[in-house]
Structure 1
């Protein structure tokens, strides 16, 4: 695996943590964060959602920023959180929730919406006449999850806690970094992360689109392929372990 030279694009702190785990495995990485997390001010209606958190039979938290920001708001209204089931898509998000004493479940098979909906614990949590589910997320995230839940007869509310924006970089930053550090693969952690990658690539996208691109789910893989990415690898998860497993399974590109 030591032949891999990756570009990491997660927010600054997450990229640093991932880079450390990759270094321990002998993998070189360069960091170019393509997502900045901007907390959103909550409306009166959103505050009402938190004040009546106990009306929901399940709370789904889709990301680590949503977990951290959501818990800050919950603590303001609930010195002791109501007894209910919490769910996350991945283990890292689940750990943040569990560290605050919440009863949280997450899929072990993959970090995606389909695996979450297949959890027996989730089916049990929504086994009522009119299940109400709250999704804590960033602005505009995981629409597919809500669509599936509504199809199953659930009432779904959102609590949008942050906005993801593209940091400001000079033109040519991305292709110059790839060339200067002889990188042979790109890593994105979400559909929006890929959109920002494609935006920053600009006119260099035709050249960069041939690089190996590691993505966390089938959904993001399809988005990337639709945009012209030619060598997409679905890690079936956003964790370091999932990325390392995918790296081991792929031949290192020749320069």
Structure 2
């Protein structure tokens, strides 16, 4: 049995699946979802992007909620997706949703972050044509690095934002009370917004939480955590379950 006792902060459905996998690996966890997914109302701009989907030589989907909502739009407007179009996902779990739908999707074999995706040879191949256009499907304000990098390479990039992440309502001391009651020694966040929600909910208890090991999905979020004063940061190099498991197993357990 592992000595790790982790707080999971993903949306509720994802927390449940992750907790089950961690339990199978002998790792105790407690869930306090700090992100809830709220679909955005469909706009005329969104509809236009979907109706003109076939003009993009690459479609990049950055998260599981984005994948599920994008497939709902495909069902509505494209009963037969554009032939030969290349789709990409930041991680394997998101890619699996698109692959199960029957799309031609690729994702990095190691690392499930923006940097790994941008280094994917097939993405470069898909965009190696005159006047390349890419569509990024994401949540509100998500993963600017992908869009910025592709634009710097001369790619016309459009972003299709399908949802926002919101912080559920909790009593003021909910976070610190759970950490203390469950004797937790590690915190897990899967995005920069998840980290911001953790910091916001912690309030006056944040100085106590910065002493715990903080598992983050990328160098970008690790830097955000450093700026917030976190002292024991572990970069999992991915937000997926496999990346977290590997990071937990490779990190020395805290003294009991």
Corresponding residue of 2:207: 206
Please state how far the C-alpha of 1:243 moved relative to its aligned partner. 1.0
What is the distance in 2 between the residues matched to 1:225 and 1:205?
A: 13
Aligned residues of 2:214 and 2:230 also touching (Cα < 8 A): yes
Please state how far the C-alpha of 1:112 moved relative to its aligned partner. 1.1
What is the distance in 1 between the residues matched to 2:115 and 2:237?
A: 11
What is the distance in 1 between the residues matched to 2:105 and 2:244?
A: 24
Corresponding residue of 1:192: 193
What is the distance in 1 between the residues matched to 2:240 and 2:71?
A: 22
Question: CA deviation digits over 1:79-104, x for unaligned, max 9?
Answer: 11002000000000000000110000
What is the distance in 2 between the residues matched to 1:200 and 1:145?
A: 29
Matches within 5 A, 1:57-206: 57-83=57-83, 84-206=85-207
What is the distance in 2 between the residues matched to 1:102 and 1:250?
A: 37
Please state how far the C-alpha of 1:20 moved relative to its aligned partner. 0.3
What is the distance in 1 between the residues matched to 2:222 and 2:125?
A: 30
What is the distance in 1 between the residues matched to 2:251 and 2:43?
A: 47
4+ runs deviating over 4 angstroms = none
Please state how far the C-alpha of 1:22 moved relative to its aligned partner. 0.1
Corresponding residue of 1:5: 5
**Structure 1 residue runs without a partner (length 5+):** none
Please state how far the C-alpha of 1:254 moved relative to its aligned partner. 2.0
Secondary structure, in 3 states, of the residue corresponding to 2:149? helix
Q: CA RMSD in A?
A: 0.8
Matches within 5 A, 1:5-44: 5-44=5-44
What is the distance in 2 between the residues matched to 1:251 and 1:13?
A: 29
Secondary structure, in 3 states, of the residue corresponding to 2:158? strand
With the length of structure 2 as denominator, give the TM-score of the two structures: 0.98
What is the distance in 1 between the residues matched to 2:185 and 2:251?
A: 12
Corresponding residue of 2:254: 253
Please state how far the C-alpha of 1:75 moved relative to its aligned partner. 1.3
What is the distance in 1 between the residues matched to 2:113 and 2:5?
A: 26
Secondary structure, in 3 states, of the residue corresponding to 2:101? coil
Matches within 5 A, 1:211-250: 211-250=212-251
Question: CA deviation digits over 1:3-58, x for unaligned, max 9?
Answer: 00000000000000000000000000000000000001121121010001000000
What is the distance in 2 between the residues matched to 1:141 and 1:193?
A: 12
Aligned residues of 2:113 and 2:239 also touching (Cα < 8 A): no
Question: CA deviation digits over 1:235-254, x for unaligned, max 9?
Answer: 11112211111111111112
What is the distance in 1 between the residues matched to 2:7 and 2:113?
A: 22
